[in-house]
Amino acid sequence: MTRALRLALFALSAVGLTTMVTSLFLQVLARELNWRVDWTEEIGRFAFISMVFMAAAYSTLNRSHLRVSVFSDLVARKIGARPVQAFHTLFLLGFAAIMIYFSAVNFVEGLRFPNISPALRFNQNILFVAMCCGFALIFLLHLRDLWALMRGDTLEDGGPVDE
């Protein structure tokens, strides 16, 4: 299950990055050749936004997200790694839950009051679905981590618990 999720998130992130780079390359080329392709900037922006949230879930799955651990490492030496990891996990669960809520609220609000992009005529608020999905995955992954901590395991840096 983890392997399939890892592959899916990596593929979605790669497609988003490829779409963004291709779109922006086409935009630069079009500028040099005086072609009118206004939609390339919007495609690049939408691909970037979607890719960020899929890549964030991917890095959470692999425990490769950026973190500053100077203080937590110091505290972990005094009281142990599991309580510090539990605190981090609970904090990140709360943050992900808040972000899911607000992205869902913004999505619903955006359906009522659309923010239409000028070139593609696309309701930009639909991008909140990517944010909601990304944070929902992050929430579920941290829930899995919390379950592992409650079983007595410790979380390994740089790799998933279940491999």
pLDDT computed for residue 90 by the predictor: 95
In a domain, 162, yes or no: no
CA distance 39 to 23: 9
Domain that residue 105 falls in: 2-150
CA 71 to the chain's CA centroid: 25
- Under the banding of pLDDT at 50, 70 and 90, the label for residue 4 is very high
Segment 101-127 shows an average pLDDT of: 94
In a domain, 56, yes or no: yes
In a domain, 50, yes or no: yes
pLDDT at 163 over 60: no
Tally the residues of the chain: 163
Report the alpha-carbon angle 100-145-104, nearest 5: 5
pLDDT at 85 over 50: yes
Number of domains in the chain: 1
Handedness of CA 74, 80, 82, 83 (dihedral sign): negative
In a domain, 9, yes or no: yes
pLDDT in tens, 30-84: 999 999 888 999 999 999 999 999 999 999 998 887 777 788 888 888 998 888 8
Q: Is the distance from CB of 60 to CB of 138 less than 8 angstroms? A: yes
pLDDT computed for residue 100 by the predictor: 98
In a domain, 156, yes or no: no
pLDDT at 87 over 70: yes
| DSSP character at residue 67 | -
In a domain, 163, yes or no: no
- Under the banding of pLDDT at 50, 70 and 90, the label for residue 103 is very high
pLDDT at 148 over 70: yes
In a domain, 72, yes or no: yes
In a domain, 155, yes or no: no
Segment 22-34 shows an average pLDDT of: 94
Minimal CA–CA distance to 130: which of 55, 22, 63, 24? 55
